[in-house]
Structure 1
Amino acid sequence: MVIVRRAGVTVKDALLAAVLAAVAVAVAVAWPGVRGLDAVGVLLLVGAHVPLAVIRRWPTPGLVALGAMVVPYHLAQYQHHALVPAEVLTLFAYAWFGRRVKVVLTVVGALLLVCVVAMAVRGGGGLVREQIAMIEAMVSVVIAVQVWRVHRARLAAISEEAARAERAREEEARRRVAEERLRIARDLHDLLAHSITVIGVQAGAAAHLVRGDRPLDREELAEALGAIADTCRDARTELRGTLQVLRGTDAAPSGTLPGAHGIADLVQTARAAGIEVDLDDADAGTPPPEVGVAAYRIVQEALTNVVKHAAATHVVVSLTRADGGLVVRVADDGRGPVGGTPGGFGVLGMIERARSVGGTLDAGPRDGGGFAVTAVFPAADVAAPR
């Protein structure tokens, strides 16, 4: 829809109407038609030009005023051609500024047809053909203006659609950037928080051996330091694979990205930190890669929170199939909750992990003490265990 800004009555419009009225009166006096111009004819002729001064502001009243003047003027058989400029300009302006153009112009056309029929009764055939030609010219002007308005409306619609599409692309780009930043933050948090927590526990155990009162057991100390080195090496390998995926350059080397198969390593690491961990994954099957990564990260974050905050002695990690999907559960006997320190992002990150692959996650205290994290992933071609 084209919206045209309408101004009020301007000096230019009034001057144009006055000049055209004077010219029309001069033409009607110099070349009289069937009936010579008298006082009534002058009044009608000049009055027909008044709408030109207000047609911008009031298109419909201006057109009605024009009809009220031109119909009796033509029926009285005054000089017809003198009114043509005013009629054409008024119809042109209404077609440009007016509303409900089709309905109003249909009424105007009917009135003009009445004039033609009346003149056909009172005048000759040549006069009728002349009036029909005038009406055709006016209708052509209106049609041309309407075609131009439709063209402009179509261009405006196309421009608006292009602008909406551009805004949608920009919003989509911003959304993807935000999602990518969130994914990077989540990956780094899951990887580094777990590794640093485990290293801290293992380093504390090694320091306790060195500071202890009993004789230093070199083999036990070497085992503790070796566990730290293994954790650092695994974290470095996993970080390298994660960064390669985030950069979008080369695919990560096979085996560097985490998955459901790596949960057993997480359990071993948690055991090395001094917690008794049971793993039940006999019925897990082989989930899709994206589900396996999400399950790995959720177990990783849950075990990290257990080591850091829960003061638990026993944890059960289970992976089972349900309705074709995968259910991952980490339950401890600690003091809970395992959501991390105030302002942390542990549980929130796990929820986002589950949602990213269409799953859900519930985290809360267990009946009888402890805390449980349960993630349910939808059915997605999980291969049955062999």
Structure 2
Amino acid sequence: MIPWSRADSRPHSFSGAAFGRPGNPFWARTLRRWNVACWVLFGALFAGLALTERQGGNTYAALALLGCVMLSYAVLDRFPGNPVLRPYTYLWVLVLGLGGSAYFWSGYAALFIVTLPHFWLFGRTVRASLVFTGLATTSTLTGSWLRKGWSAEFFGSTLVSTLIVVAASVLIGLWIHSVVEQSGERARLIEELERTQARLSEAHQRQGAADERERMAREIHDTLAQGFASIIVLAEAAREGLATDPDRSAQQLRSIESTARDNLAEARELVGSAQQSRVAAGSVARTLRRTLDRFAEDTGLMVDAELADPVCDQRTRIALLRCLQESLANVRKHAAASTVNVVLAQQPFGVELEITDDGRGFVIGESAGFGLDGMRKRLAEQGGQLTVTSSVGDGTRVLAMIPMIPTDRKVTA
């Protein structure tokens, strides 16, 4: 029995605040209980007026006025219409009903006390609530004065008690209004916070999806793409050497087969969304050595390697291997080098991997490839950094550094 407005699906608010709004179950329960209490009190007043007052014209008039007030309240409660007009219509009926009851019924004070909160429940603003409270007070005192005249009873009890009750009603109404306003503000802030949290969660999800796509792109570039590029180069060389150097071509075909098998395994890992790489745990120096041996076998370039063997975790091993693979792929595709030097060293601040070649070099600012940027991001994820030094005709130097716990374990691979 809450006074809802069907026009905008919002209940009539307490002094225009967020009293009883659908998102506030506490106030909704409060209004339901208040409505039940009002109907109980209205019924008690009607029964008391009908049974205790002497039957006559005044009693019937008082009963009719009380019935009009109850009917108007029922219409407002059961058939809400315009959210502004309907409550104010009821309040006007209540003002006139209180004045008439004070004139016809000596027990009007009970009705006056019961209905005073309605001016705060259905007044859209504090000002409207105060105005209707003042009108109801004036109407009630006028009706009582017309019935009693300028008597001592009117001045001694009626006027004083009415003003005391009205003053208490105003104070309580203003206090509740401020409480409800604060509650509405808190509710608004909570809703805003929830919306912000939802937007933040969506942003995190989008960022997570973007990061995962970037990670997958980097893994594909560093594994499958490099493998396919190697297969293409080896296939072209094998085709050209079939007639002149069949043994060399056979070796290149074996390298193609091995690279294709590695690519297939990497593809299965990526499709399975595996979080761990196929890079086996163990010596990082041996892992890099196998990669260098295959590179030398496939390209025929001279490879000079000095590899320490620091104790590395899996992520560091993978990062070092991917940096080496990317650097060797760039040497094969772009450098036209004859010699490649690789140094893996343990430093007090971490581990360093240096790859240099004597190729044609390039202008770093004009490099638009994905490989160098991917290496930088991979190292940055572990707090490391990538330094690339090159100029046209002077070869290229790639230095990858990853911070790690110092260790004294160093061997030559």
* Residues 140/61 of structure 1: CA separation in 2 closer, same or farther (3 Å cut): closer
- Taking the TM superposition and a 5 Å limit, the aligned residue runs for 1:50-69 are none
Q: Quick one: which amino acid aligns to residue 234 of structure 1?
A: D
* Aligned-residue offset at 1:28: 9.0
Q: Which residue of 1 aligns with 2:206?
A: 174
Contact 1:310/1:338, CA 8 A, preserved across alignment: no
Q: Quick one: which amino acid aligns to residue 336 of structure 1?
A: G
Q: Quick one: which amino acid aligns to residue 256 of structure 2?
A: I
Q: Which residue of 2 aligns with 1:381?
A: 405
Give the one of 352, 370, 382 matched to 2:377.
352
Contact 1:275/1:314, CA 8 A, preserved across alignment: yes
Contact 1:259/1:292, CA 8 A, preserved across alignment: yes
Q: Quick one: which amino acid aligns to residue 303 of structure 1?
A: L
* Residues 168/64 of structure 1: CA separation in 2 closer, same or farther (3 Å cut): same
Partner Cα separation in structure 2 for residue 291 and residue 346 of structure 1: 18
Q: Quick one: which amino acid aligns to residue 377 of structure 1?
A: I
Q: Which residue of 1 aligns with 2:195?
A: 163
Give the one of 145, 149, 162 matched to 2:181.
149
Q: Which residue of 2 aligns with 1:274?
A: 300
Contact 1:190/1:301, CA 8 A, preserved across alignment: yes
Partner Cα separation in structure 1 for residue 126 and residue 180 of structure 2: 20
* Residues 197/253 of structure 1: CA separation in 2 closer, same or farther (3 Å cut): closer
Q: Quick one: which amino acid aligns to residue 306 of structure 1?
A: V
* Aligned-residue offset at 1:369: 0.9
Q: How many residues align?
A: 312
Q: Quick one: which amino acid aligns to residue 251 of structure 2?
A: E
* Aligned-residue offset at 1:375: 2.1
* Residues 242/255 of structure 1: CA separation in 2 closer, same or farther (3 Å cut): farther
Q: Secondary structure at the match of 1:255?
A: coil
Give the one of 340, 345, 353 matched to 1:315.
340
Partner Cα separation in structure 2 for residue 365 and residue 264 of structure 1: 24
Give the one of 274, 283, 297 matched to 2:322.
297
Partner Cα separation in structure 2 for residue 345 and residue 174 of structure 1: 22
Percent identity of the aligned residues? 27
* Aligned-residue offset at 1:242: 4.6
- Taking the TM superposition and a 5 Å limit, the aligned residue runs for 1:1-386 are 131-212=163-244, 216=245, 218-244=246-272, 246-247=273-274, 255=280, 261-272=286-297, 273-282=299-308, 284-337=309-362, 344-365=369-390, 369-378=394-403, 380-381=404-405, 383-386=407-410
Q: Secondary structure at the match of 2:217?
A: helix
Partner Cα separation in structure 1 for residue 278 and residue 231 of structure 2: 25
* Residues 247/371 of structure 1: CA separation in 2 closer, same or farther (3 Å cut): same
* Residues 257/149 of structure 1: CA separation in 2 closer, same or farther (3 Å cut): farther
Q: Secondary structure at the match of 1:285?
A: coil
Partner Cα separation in structure 2 for residue 361 and residue 15 of structure 1: 78
Q: Secondary structure at the match of 1:373?
A: strand
Partner Cα separation in structure 2 for residue 197 and residue 257 of structure 1: 28
Contact 2:362/2:391, CA 8 A, preserved across alignment: no
Partner Cα separation in structure 2 for residue 205 and residue 28 of structure 1: 113
* Aligned-residue offset at 1:184: 1.0
Contact 2:324/2:355, CA 8 A, preserved across alignment: yes
Contact 2:238/2:253, CA 8 A, preserved across alignment: yes
Q: TM-score, normalising length from structure 1?
A: 0.63
Deviation digits for residues 292-349 of structure 1 (CA, Å, limit 9, x no counterpart): 2112111111110110011111222222233432222222121123989975312221
Give RMSD over aligned pairs. 4.6
Contact 1:325/1:377, CA 8 A, preserved across alignment: yes
User: Which structure 1 residue ranges, 5 or more long, are not aligned?
Assistant: 5-9, 32-51, 83-122
Deviation digits for residues 151-197 of structure 1 (CA, Å, limit 9, x no counterpart): 33333333332222222222111111111111111111111232223
